[in-house]
């Protein structure tokens, strides 16, 4: 009973136990807030909003918020504005010299960039909150349900929505500091998992209504889902190692020796960020249409096909954007020139390759080769939910067959397990696996 022994060992480590309990309590606070609706809105009249967010791009927003979006909750906007602000700041580190300088300043520069990210998050919230209220008013109005109007309701609700999202961000930061795992990613994962039981029950019920073969198809769906999860794990963990011979000067003489080491280059160095970038662009049509409110006219005809997550044009453009952003984000995060300089500075070299410029060109060539299959695999995983829907799987359950949700789940779980294992090994307990180590993503996702 290795699993039971591992749980006992975790409970014996006071610091790890307190971190897990602290994380659990903050998650309970977040889930409780997601059920509190905005003042002046009757929760029993939100059927139209729940119906609107059951499909299309709005279902993705509702999934990332753990159902708070469809509940018209005080935390309806969730953590996504912070992620959008983080993406903008990362792009500014490429184009703006000031942010490039901050990036090179180490911890102090990192704190300043985090502060700018929070300021930008507030600005985005003050723009998205009124748009959400307009969408809520249109959706409820089409359903014949009246909600409060007037400047005071709009003003107070905007402040509440912005404050709610910033409080969720604060909860995520507290989880990172005093809990277990990366708090922001963990909150998103909890929001995704919160929809899994309902999606599972709906899919099981729909299969039971079939005259023949319903349960067999349900089992086949699980087998395919497990296979996709295994592929996502390989995508998150996969690396290509370049051997590097480090020449080390021995103390007391001028003899050189050393053992062969490796430069780990990931097949998917960009992780889930290309999908988030792509979906941030694909969500623009929903913004033009008022967060998905039913509208007629030229805008609806132009952008309507791009809001159908199971349609051809949405998935085709999504694949192109993901591949392009994978190369873009890899070029941002992996600097072959700097790696070559670091190798040369530490008296290291790649066997058969001259130090300096030739080493940088060699690393860049290797990264270009291994990024393409990683980008294609990432794009395939991203559009797997669309293929699942073609085979009759309901959208709520099909969302777990790929896309951002699956990669976030896999990445966050691996990172959390890696931290737990580190605590166990540091106290001389057995790890979570009999052999090997759990490998998570390199660095944080957000």
State the pLDDT at residue 249.
Answer: 39
> d(Cα 119, Cα 114) in Å, to the nearest integer?
9
- Are residue 87 and residue 176 in the same domain, yes or no? yes
Among 151, 169, 194, identify where a domain stops: 194
- Are residue 107 and residue 203 in the same domain, yes or no? no
Handedness of CA 408, 411, 416, 417 (dihedral sign): positive
State the pLDDT at residue 294.
Answer: 47
- Are residue 353 and residue 294 in the same domain, yes or no? yes
State the pLDDT at residue 258.
Answer: 47
Q: Is residue 1 part of a domain?
A: no
- Are residue 119 and residue 99 in the same domain, yes or no? yes
State the pLDDT at residue 119.
Answer: 92
Give the number of domains in the chain.
Answer: 2
> d(Cα 219, Cα 283) in Å, to the nearest integer?
33
Q: Alpha carbon of 439 to those of 4, 227, 421, 432, 435: distances in Å?
A: 22, 19, 10, 12, 12
Q: Is residue 3 part of a domain?
A: no
Q: Is residue 9 part of a domain?
A: no
- In the structure encoding, which two tokens stand for residue 330, read together? 């890899």
State the pLDDT at residue 431.
Answer: 58
- Are residue 177 and residue 302 in the same domain, yes or no? no
State the pLDDT at residue 215.
Answer: 78
- What's the gap between Cα 32 and its chain centre? 22
Among 194, 228, 251, identify where a domain stops: 194
Q: Is residue 55 part of a domain?
A: yes
- Residue 350 gets which letter from DSSP? -
Of 173, 133, 171, residue with least CA distance to 153: 133
Tally of CB atoms within 10 A around 280: 16
Q: Alpha carbon of 323 to those of 299, 373, 388, 445: distances in Å?
A: 27, 10, 21, 18
Instruction: Tell me which residue has tokens 């994962």.
Output: 189
Among 160, 194, 228, identify where a domain stops: 194
> d(Cα 8, Cα 331) in Å, to the nearest integer?
44
Beta bridge partners of 256: 249
Q: Is residue 13 part of a domain?
A: no
Handedness of CA 267, 273, 274, 275 (dihedral sign): positive
State which residues form the domain around 250: 197-446
Q: Is residue 4 part of a domain?
A: no
- Are residue 398 and residue 322 in the same domain, yes or no? yes
- Are residue 218 and residue 345 in the same domain, yes or no? yes
Tally of CB atoms within 10 A around 146: 10
pTM, 2 dp: 0.77
State the pLDDT at residue 443.
Answer: 44
Contact 337, 356 (CB under 8 A): no
Of 213, 215, 219, residue with least CA distance to 205: 215
- Are residue 187 and residue 289 in the same domain, yes or no? no
> d(Cα 299, Cα 302) in Å, to the nearest integer?
5
Q: Is residue 5 part of a domain?
A: no
The CATH number that applies at residue 118 is 1.10.3370.10
- Are residue 238 and residue 140 in the same domain, yes or no? no
- Are residue 127 and residue 207 in the same domain, yes or no? no
Q: Alpha carbon of 167 to those of 122, 159, 170, 444: distances in Å?
A: 11, 12, 5, 21
Q: How confident is the chain (446 residues) per 10-residue block, as mean pLDDT?
A: 70 83 91 88 76 68 77 86 83 81 81 90 89 80 74 90 92 89 82 81 79 75 81 69 55 42 71 74 62 52 67 83 85 80 79 84 85 85 82 78 76 80 73 57 49
> d(Cα 404, Cα 394) in Å, to the nearest integer?
17
- Are residue 436 and residue 325 in the same domain, yes or no? yes
Q: Is residue 349 part of a domain?
A: yes
Handedness of CA 220, 322, 61, 314 (dihedral sign): negative
- Are residue 182 and residue 231 in the same domain, yes or no? no
């Amino acid at each position: 009973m290795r699993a039971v022994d591992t749980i006992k060992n975790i409970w014996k480590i006071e610091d790890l136990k307190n971190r897990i309990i602290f994380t659990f309590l903050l998650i309970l606070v977040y889930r409780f807030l997601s059920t509190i609706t905005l003042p002046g809105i009757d929760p029993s009249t939100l059927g139209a909003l729940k119906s609107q967010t059951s499909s299309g791009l709005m279902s993705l927003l509702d999934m990332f918020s753990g159902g708070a979006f469809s509940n018209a909750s005080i935390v309806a906007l969730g953590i996504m504005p912070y992620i959008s602000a983080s993406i903008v700041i990362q792009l500014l580190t490429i184009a703006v010299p000031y942010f490039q300088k901050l990036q090179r300043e180490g911890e102090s520069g990192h704190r300043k960039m985090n502060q700018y990210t929070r300021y930008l998050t507030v600005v985005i919230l003050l723009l998205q909150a009124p748009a959400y209220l307009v969408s809520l008013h249109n959706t409820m109005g089409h359903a014949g349900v009246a909600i409060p109007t007037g400047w005071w309701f709009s003003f107070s609700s905007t402040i509440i929505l912005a404050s709610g999202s910033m409080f969720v961000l604060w909860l995520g930061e507290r989880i990172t500091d005093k809990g277990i795992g990366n708090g922001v990613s963990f909150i998103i994962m909890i929001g995704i998992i919160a929809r899994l039981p309902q999606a599972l029950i709906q899919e099981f019920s729909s299969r039971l209504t079939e005259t023949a073969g319903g349960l067999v198809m349900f089992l086949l769906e699980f087998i395919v889902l497990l296979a996709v999860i295994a592929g996502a794990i390989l995508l998150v963990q996969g690396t290509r190692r370049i051997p590097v011979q480090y020449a080390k000067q021995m103390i007391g003489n001028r003899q050189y020796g050393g053992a062969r080491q490796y430069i780990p280059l990931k097949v998917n160095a960009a992780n889930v960020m290309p999908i988030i970038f792509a979906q941030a662009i694909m969500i623009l049509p929903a913004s033009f249409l008022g967060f998905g409110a039913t509208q007629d006219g030229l805008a609806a005809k132009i952008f309507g096909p791009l809001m159908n997550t199971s349609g051809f044009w949405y998935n085709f453009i999504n694949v192109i954007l993901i591949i392009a952003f994978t190369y873009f984000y890899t070029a941002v995060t992996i600097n072959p020139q700097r790696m070559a300089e670091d190798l040369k500075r530490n008296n290291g070299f790649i066997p058969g390759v001259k130090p300096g410029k030739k080493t940088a060109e060699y690393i860049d060539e290797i990264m270009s080769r291994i990024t393409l299959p990683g980008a294609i695999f990432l794009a395939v995983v991203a559009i797997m939910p669309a293929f699942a829907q073609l085979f009759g799987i309901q959208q709520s359950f099909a969302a777990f067959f790929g896309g951002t949700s699956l990669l976030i789940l896999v990445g966050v779980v691996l990172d959390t397990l890696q931290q737990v294992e580190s605590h166990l090994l540091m106290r001389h307990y057995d790890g979570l696996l009999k052999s090997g180590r759990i490998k998570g993503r390199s660095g944080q996702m957000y």
